[in-house]
């Protein structure tokens, strides 16, 4: 049998395989370039950009927890202008779709970013981050209410022709309702999950392990929550779902796809295995071949659930 066709399209973002990197775990694509050719990726989502530079939160910014990590980076980034000046020229030379993750404190900030990034050539899409748990203003606040989420995405929609991915927070009761809302507002896809808000305390000093006190939990510990949310969301939206949350192996990636993810993103998994993305692409390919699947749609959403009377 021939190799399966791994191609996936997220709106107008055409990817050669369903594996992406998750924002904030991949820098601006330079961090892993010594270790493998980043052009193997389906797409690259770069570290979140804000309208103005942000210093980020005081350290410690990371704490290890059982099978996971808590982080509170606080969206440290050079701001959109410096990003365009310093990072985009290098990113443009890559043969891989580059998606820019963007955040702002205000809806006007999101509009401004979308407008500015729309003028820049060589970028394939925008991931609208309405889910960062580690900033005082904005961030997650935009993604916990279907109305506000709708407003942000619809206003960004007016500013750009580029595909929009809305990145959703799991810190809600009903993530599917937020997904439905951003789909209606014009999002081309949803990506989920961002991190789960958490906390860890050093029992000797009685101090929180993070400088920001609370932070976002990621890694294998959150995977079942993410799979459940992808499954719930995929059933109610007609746009692609990009699944992420604790993927460290091809088996994890396949599980997300069976739950309904058209594509997957590797985040924390990059830290333990710096070539995780490549291993996962190979693993998905081998799994599909072994199971006589010709294209990814033979796999996506094929969870088999027997109805219980």
Partner 1 sequence: MIFQESGLIAANESVGDRFYRMALFAPRTASKVKPGQFIHLKCSDTADPLLRRPFSVYDWDEKKKMITILYAVVGRGTEMMSKMKSGEKVNLMAPLGTSFSIDVNFNEALVIGGGCGIGPLLGLVKQLVKKGIETTTLLGMKTGQTSILIDDFLLAGATVKVATNDGSIGIKGHVTEFLENTEKKEKPDFVYACGPNPMLVSVQKWARKQHIPGEISIEEKMGCGTGACLSCACRIQSQDNEDGWDYKRVCVEGPVFSLEEVIFDE
Residues engaged in binding partner 1 (CB under 8 A)? 24-27, 30-32, 34-35, 47, 55-56, 58-64, 66-69, 71, 73, 76, 219-220, 248, 268, 270-272, 274-275
Secondary structure (3-state) at 32: coil
Minimum CB separation of residue 189 from partner 1 in Å reads 23
Min dist CB 206 to partner 1, Å, is: 18
**Minimal distance in Å, beta carbon 203 to partner 1?**
13
β-partners of residue 181 are: none
Nearest residue (CB) to partner 1, 27 versus 283: 27
User: Taking a C-beta distance cutoff of 8 angstroms, is the pair 167, 130 a contact?
Assistant: yes
Cβ atoms < 10 Å from Cβ of 279: 18
Tokens of 139: 């961030």
Q: Which is nearer to partner 1, 23 or 233 (CB)?
A: 23
Closer of 239 and 278 to partner 1 (Cβ)? 278
The radius of gyration computed from the CA coordinates of the chain, to the nearest angstrom, equals: 18
Q: At closest approach, how far in Å is the CB of 272 from partner 1?
A: 6
Question: Of 295, 193, 307, whose CA–CA distance to 242 is shortest?
Answer: 193
Q: How far are the Cα atoms of 279, 288, 290, 297 from residue 2, in angstroms, in the given order?
A: 20, 11, 11, 16
306 class by beta-carbon count within 10 Å (0-12 exposed, 13-18 middle, 19+ buried): exposed
Any idea which residues carry the catalytic annotation? 132
Helix 146-159 with 107-118: angle, nearest 10 deg: 30
CB of 60 to partner 1, least distance (A): 4
Q: CB-wise, 70 or 234, nearer to partner 1?
A: 70
- Strands (DSSP E) along the chain, which ranges? 8-10, 13-15, 19-21, 44-49, 62-65, 68-71, 98-102, 125-129, 164-167, 189-192, 196-199, 214-218, 241-243, 263-266
Burial class, 155, CB count within 10 angstroms (exposed 0-12 / middle 13-18 / buried 19+): middle
DSSP 8-class letter at 284: H
Instruction: State how far the Cα of 248 lies from the Cα of 222, in Å rounded to an integer.
Output: 12
Least Å distance, CB 305 to partner 1, is 26
Q: Which is nearer to partner 1, 4 or 219 (CB)?
A: 219
Between 28 and 142, name the residue whose CB sits nearer to partner 1: 28
Q: Among residues 296, 285, 309, 303, which one has the least CA distance to residue 262?
A: 296
């Amino acid at each position: 049998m021939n190799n399966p066709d791994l191609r996936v399209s997220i709106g107008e973002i055409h990817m050669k395989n369903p594996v992406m990197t998750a924002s904030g775990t991949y820098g601006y694509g330079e961090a892993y370039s010594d270790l493998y050719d980043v052009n193997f990726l389906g797409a690259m989502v770069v570290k979140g950009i804000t309208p103005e530079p942000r210093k980020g939160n005081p350290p410690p910014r990371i704490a290890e927890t059982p099978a996971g990590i808590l982080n509170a980076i606080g969206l440290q980034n050079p701001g959109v202008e410096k990003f365009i000046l310093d990072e985009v020229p290098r990113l443009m030379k890559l043969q891989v779709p580059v998606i820019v993750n963007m955040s702002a404190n205000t809806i006007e900030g999101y509009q401004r970013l979308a407008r500015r990034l729309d003028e820049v050539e060589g970028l394939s899409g925008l991931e609208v981050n309405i889910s960062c748990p580690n900033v005082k203003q904005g961030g997650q606040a935009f993604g916990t209410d279907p109305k506000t989420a709708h407003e942000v995405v619809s206003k960004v929609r007016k500013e750009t022709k580029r595909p929009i991915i809305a990145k959703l927070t799991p810190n809600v009761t009903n993530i599917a309702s937020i997904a439905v809302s951003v789909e209606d507002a014009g999002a081309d896809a949803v990506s989920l999950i961002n991190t789960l808000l958490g906390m860890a305390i050093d029992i000797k000093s009685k101090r929180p392990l993070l400088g920001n006190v609370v932070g976002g939990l990621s890694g294998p510990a959150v995977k079942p929550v993410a799979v459940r949310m992808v499954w719930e969301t995929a059933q109610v939206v007609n746009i692609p779902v990009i699944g992420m949350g604790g993927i460290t192996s091809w088996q994890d990636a396949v599980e997300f796809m069976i739950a309904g993810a058209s594509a997957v993103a590797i985040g924390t998994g990059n830290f333990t295995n710096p070539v995780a993305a490549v291993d996962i692409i190979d693993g998905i390919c081998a799994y599909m071949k072994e199971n006589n699947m010709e294209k990814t749609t033979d796999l996506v959403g094929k969870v088999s659930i027997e109805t219980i009377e």
